[in-house]
Structure 1
Amino acid sequence: MTDYSGLKQQLEQRLADLLDRAEVIEDDLRHPLDADFGEQAIDLADDEALEGVDDVLRAEIGQVRNALLRIENGTYGTCANCGKPIAEARLQARPIATRCIECAA
């Protein structure tokens, strides 16, 4: 079994960073609307953009959590498609990878 402790630590740090960023966005989205209709329009447009960013963050949070789960259950580093090992260089470049480079292509 390969030692993924370094990658696990990177993934845990990435997860913490993503959760912090998502919390800031959620706090921004919870603000009450301004009484001025012009400001409301601007706020709503900003909120729409923030919701898009939040969606991307939430998707990555899920991928990082899944990678950490795969480390815990011993399936990390194995291609979910063909079952072959995922190259260490690929995991270093993309720690959330679930497929080897051949299957990902």
Structure 2
Amino acid sequence: MDDATARTQLESMLAELDRSITVLRGDPDAPGDRSLADAGADLTDADRARAMLDVAARQRTAVLDALKRLDSGDYGRCVDCGKPVPEGRLAARPEASRCVQCQSVRERRR
């Protein structure tokens, strides 16, 4: 993947993540009558939204890191071993920072 295409995809991802984060944050001070059942449902919704916000924030960080690697000339190289990240992996996940082998090792350690 060439740098211009990668940058376009990453910037588009960043904009979409920013929009999603804004929506997920919502307005906690919105007025309205709430029953006890509504409060319980709100808690579940709030937990779900918080989890989705955490995922979106991590994804946003990965995209910003990929843009930094692009600027420094390191984009497309594994941050662990330095080998090229396969084109197919970058096409599917432009923010990928590791080759498949290093990513597999990292996931097994979790």
Q: Same fold (TM over 0.5)?
A: yes
Q: Any stretches of 5+ residues in structure 1 without a counterpart?
A: none
Identity %: 37
In structure 1, what is the equivalent of residue 87 of structure 2?
88
Q: Cα RMSD (Å) of the superposition?
A: 1.9
Aligned length: 104
- Kindly provide the CA deviation profile for residues 41-73 of structure 1, in whole angstroms up to 9, marking residues without a partner as x: 211121111111111111101111111111011
Question: What is the letter of the counterpart of residue 49 of structure 2?
Answer: L
Report matched runs for 1:72-83 at 5 Å: 72-83=71-82
- Kindly provide the CA deviation profile for residues 29-51 of structure 1, in whole angstroms up to 9, marking residues without a partner as x: 45457442222121112111111
Report matched runs for 1:24-103 at 5 Å: 24-31=23-30, 34-103=33-102
Q: Any stretches of 5+ residues in structure 2 without a counterpart?
A: 105-110
After the TM superposition, which parts of structure 1 deviate over 6 Å for at least 4 consecutive aligned residues?
Answer: none
Relative to the length of structure 1, the TM-score reads 0.86
